[in-house]
Structure 1
């Protein structure tokens, strides 16, 4: 039986571990420096309020890939959940993403879908033919007023720089709708696991051929681990190589925790678009489980900052300097035959949960097929 080491007990590591273990041909050891499984998707009950808390910020599962949806539902019951985000600007609450309600409310209109489309097109900056920056993309997309209201301050807080310094690709993920549809996502399947994400990942790891070591750090190529036929690494790519080409840029977030009686804000997530408000958003976690009832509530103010050595990296910045650094690290990876780099940190990409699961499944299945009989 071949021995496999998986570094990281999040979704990437859990899916690979489960897929390999089920063949009966591999014994898998999983190592994670945190004291819990689940990575940034970890959930746990708050002892005071009994609310299921997403410890590293909100996670809503969404996908249009039926294979991924069916797969993840085999490890837990996912309740339907539609993410309806609100945004506060200048003391008023608006619906996000920008939709017909947002447009009519912001401009004091009662436009039809056709009229709203024409209105927004008239606001857009037609002189910008090929937007290269976030700011240019926004102005071309929605015009100066909506850009300043909903994107400028929020983005500056989120990324710690002027939006004109960011690539246009960041904004391309944000939709504008000329209907009253305020569902934040367009995917067919959307939900949240009834028992939390950690319960799903615990079931993925529930196999006699899988052994988990928590609170144990892996030091990349400098580590002296031996006796494994292959390593699946899901940690930061630059950390694996002891940052020899420099540290890749990330933004991280931290939270200020609050508890009170009843209902604090009436919605799971509310963004704060004004630059003068220091936090980017507030999430109230009882609203992620509307099938539960709680007398008390717990909510978090979310702040963004640069990632320092001891911080948890969240969002890859992928600026020009980062991408040049990444090329150097990828060249190092290409010379390794017994290590697979997998997941958002190991590939330095922003990936949603469904992307991570899909890639992990494909990776594990390919690994098995390539090693049959070896």
Structure 2
């Protein structure tokens, strides 16, 4: 039997552990006090509501293999994320759809009329968008860009939209019908009992040992003790930030408890730049199959990641990409270690991408 060290117990680490444990000894090390990474959920002791402690996670994918795999460890209840956005005291539907367009411009367009109208607003002088702002102006024109993207983006990313890559906006569709499903993926849901149950089942095996509250640095790893090491933490942290810190945005929350229903929806964005929070999520709406007299909601704020913060979203500005190349060169010099997951590869990855990557990686080490 081989002996593997897995650093991190999010989806990358937990899927690897589950896939490799039958014929190998697995030691999972986690620096936090719980397993599951940013997907960790727990019951609120006051209200009994399941809380997504690090922000909302709605599982959505077009990968049937991943969908079937995850359901070995939970009952995935269908869930449609219908996001709203508040701009200048009006509530709109996101992503931008026919309802949004008609409401915003006070029209009653048909799908064809709306498409032609939006095309007429497009900045045709932009042939190949060089950044987020140009992509938006070419996509929806200046009015919708200003309303739904400009202020929100500055709050979320902490920089001018002109500094961000155009690729960020390519994930946001415009629909010329009344479909207000935030995601376009065919398979969408939330685990009935929360995400933590998934990680508990994945790591429940006699060949798997989990150590919590332990942070491992490169200097502390004794490679001779393990046949291979899998690392899912930040790549710059592994190399002790020798070339500097890669840019990440992090989020923090203000928690509120109230009676009844606070906002009537799971997620509402706040697009005005003057409002400091980016969105409010009300967690009982993520489990509509449950009945709660009270409610818990979180105001979410975004800021630059500092030394003791949890990194969330890689910024991938030009300086970050240049720094990443240096870290990647260092990584390529190493043997006996695999860097896996969002932080270790410095990429934006949804849950299903992370799981698919871990499943594929595990095939090489069975």
Same fold (TM over 0.5): yes
Conserved in 2, the CA contact under 8 Å of 1:12 and 1:357? Answer: yes
Conserved in 2, the CA contact under 8 Å of 1:221 and 1:241? Answer: no
User: Is it true that 1:171 corresponds to 2:169 in the alignment?
Assistant: yes
Structure-2 residue corresponding to 1:250 = 248
Change (3 A) 1:256 1:226: farther
User: Is it true that 1:146 corresponds to 2:144 in the alignment?
Assistant: yes
Separation of aligned partners in 2, 1:102 and 1:332: 48
TM-score by length of 2: 0.99
Gaps of 5+ in 1: 369-374
Structure-1 residue corresponding to 2:73 = 75
Post-superposition Cα deviations, 1:41-97, rounded to whole Å, max 9, x if no partner, equal: 000000001000000000000001110000001111000000000000000000000
Separation of aligned partners in 1, 2:120 and 2:180: 23
Post-superposition Cα deviations, 1:213-257, rounded to whole Å, max 9, x if no partner, equal: 001111124545651111000000011111111110000000000
User: 1:38: Cα distance to partner?
Assistant: 0.4
User: Is it true that 1:17 corresponds to 2:32 in the alignment?
Assistant: no
Structure-2 residue corresponding to 1:30 = 28
Gaps of 5+ in 2: none
Secondary structure (helix, strand or coil) at the match of 2:364 reads helix
Conserved in 2, the CA contact under 8 Å of 1:251 and 1:307? Answer: yes
User: Is it true that 1:351 corresponds to 2:324 in the alignment?
Assistant: no
Equivalences for 1:1-374 in 2 at 5 Å? 1-22=1-22, 24=23, 26-224=24-222, 226-368=224-366
Secondary structure (helix, strand or coil) at the match of 1:367 reads coil
User: 1:367: Cα distance to partner?
Assistant: 2.1
Separation of aligned partners in 1, 2:35 and 2:288: 25
Separation of aligned partners in 1, 2:174 and 2:224: 52
RMSD: 0.9
User: 1:357: Cα distance to partner?
Assistant: 0.3
Post-superposition Cα deviations, 1:294-329, rounded to whole Å, max 9, x if no partner, equal: 011100000000000100000000011100111111
TM-score by length of 1: 0.97
Secondary structure (helix, strand or coil) at the match of 2:365 reads helix
